[in-house]
Amino acid sequence: MYHKNINSSNNSEIRVNNMKQLEDKIKKIKRLQEIKKIVTTNSRPSFHNLDRKIEKYLNYDNGFFIEAGANNGYTQSNTFYYEYKRNWKGILIEPVLHNYKMCEYLRINSKVYNCALVSSSYQEKSIKMRYAGLMTIVDGALKSKKNDDFQIQKALKYENIEKSFDFEVEARTLNSILDECNVQKIDLLSLDVEGYEAQVLDGLDFNKYRPKFILIEARFKEEIEKIILPYYKLIEVLTNNWDHLYAAKWNGKLP
């Protein structure tokens, strides 16, 4: 009787494990089908056709990207096309938790981080942010509360968001993430962090990691170029003096 109970228990565990494996397989198939449908419908969700505009410089397969301000991994993404049509892999960074979770779901070939990027001098473990959909900001990123508030109100109206809220998220330098991932080369760094670009770039050691190209939504261009011009050259302004593409220099020469 004792042995019979043991066998019965073992058989039950096997059935439960088999059922879980089957459920996981079904979920994976469903996920892949959903992603395939999105890719087939529109593989280029980038705002202002930025992924098309930079392709003349990055017209090759099997590259590596970093996208900071990744949102949900699809909406206005500058790297979605490269992952699913050019076989690139990369790192995505998104501070808003529900966007991060969707990003993880949609971007199966990329490593996704739920954090905000900060400068090398930032000492706290977390940082305060203000939610505004695609226009979510680090508190104080736009230099004054008045500017921050204007951004929030604009986002609420533009994106039809019911209300904004403040939240804390882990603060990390880009350098720490690249070290953790043992990154060897970077073809593209796409940076859209709503006015916090200079601080993010200050958290990257360009002598150790030098992305081949950096695409920046440059609100504060002078601050940005003070950091990167020793290592980069502006090669094209892509959208009405807003999105800037920089190419890395090695020994003073472009690649």
Domain at 44-121+167-248, CATH from 2.80.10.50, 3.30.70.920, 3.40.190.10, 3.40.50.150: 3.40.50.150
The answer for residues whose C-beta is within 8 angstroms of residue 38's C-beta and 6 or more apart is 74, 106
DSSP H or E stretch at residue 51? helix 50-54
User: Which of 216, 141, 196 shows the shortest CA–CA distance to 150?
Assistant: 141
Residue 104 has a CB neighbour count (10 Å cut-off) of 18
Tens digit of each residue's pLDDT, the chain (255 residues): 545 555 555 666 665 566 667 566 778 889 999 999 999 999 999 999 999 999 999 999 999 999 999 999 999 999 999 999 999 999 999 999 999 999 999 999 999 999 999 999 999 999 999 999 999 999 999 999 999 999 999 999 989 998 999 999 999 999 999 999 999 999 999 999 999 999 999 999 999 999 999 999 999 999 999 999 999 999 999 998 889 999 999 755 555
The tokens for 154 are 């604009």
pTM of the prediction? 0.89
Handedness of CA 231, 82, 200, 170 (dihedral sign): negative
In this prediction, residue 86 carries a pLDDT of 98
Amino acid occupying residue 84: Y
